Amino acid sequence: MRHTAFRRRMAEEFGRVRSEMLAQDHVFSSLGGRTVDQALEAGCTTKEVWTAVCEAFDVPSERR
């Protein structure tokens, strides 16, 4: 998944403002104690990051 598609999915799921805040501020243990932005910068794939977000926030499987 491309970064633009990832950001779009985040915004669709959480709203634009909340998704930006989550990406910057929420630390995910499944991403090695990193935020979404840090994990992406460190080279994690968007699929890995999206999976971590979905698991942490119980996103229904049909929207994963």
Establish if 64 belongs to a structural domain.
no
* CA–CA distance, 53 with 14 (Å, rounded to integer): 11
Q: What is the pLDDT of residue 17?
A: 97
Helix axes 3-14, 46-56, angle to 10 degrees: 10
Q: How many structural domains are present in the chain?
A: 1
pLDDT of residue 54: 97
On whether residue 8 sits in a domain, the answer given is yes
Query: What's residue 16's pLDDT?
Result: 97
pLDDT at 33: 98
pLDDT at 1: 85
Report DSSP state, residue 33. Answer: S
9-61 pLDDT per residue, tens: 999 999 999 999 999 999 999 999 999 999 999 999 999 999 999 999 999 99
What is the Cα–Cα distance from 4 to 15, expressed in whole angstroms?
Answer: 15
In a domain, 50, yes or no: yes
Does residue 40 lie within any of the structural domains? yes
Report yes or no on 5 lying in a domain: yes
The domain in which residue 32 lies consists of 1-57
Question: pTM for the complete prediction?
Answer: 0.91
Whether 63 is in a domain gets the answer no
